[in-house]
Amino acid sequence: MAKFGFVANVQTDEKSSFDGISEVSKEVVNKELLMFRRFQVDVKDIKCPLEWWAKHEFLFLIVAFFAP
């Protein structure tokens, strides 16, 4: 089974998207990213990523906001 996810915590020279939000908010985002990374999805079963997100966005509200 392939794992469906994306890479986070990429370091850049630009200002971080986390700048200006509280530590509590960062913790909530990081917990959701961790849950998303652990979520097992067989990518062969995904015909359209947008349809998959439409059906599953309630599981990952924050991550879904950043999905295509």
What is the chain's pLDDT, residue by residue, as a tens digit (68 residues)?
444 544 444 444 455 555 666 777 888 889 999 998 898 888 888 899 889 888 989 998 888 887 76
On whether the CB atoms of residues 46 and 68 are closer than 8 A, the answer is: no
Nearest CA among 60, 57, 6 for reference residue 32: 60
pLDDT of residue 42: 85
pLDDT at 29: 87
Question: Is the entire prediction scored with pTM above 0.75?
Answer: no
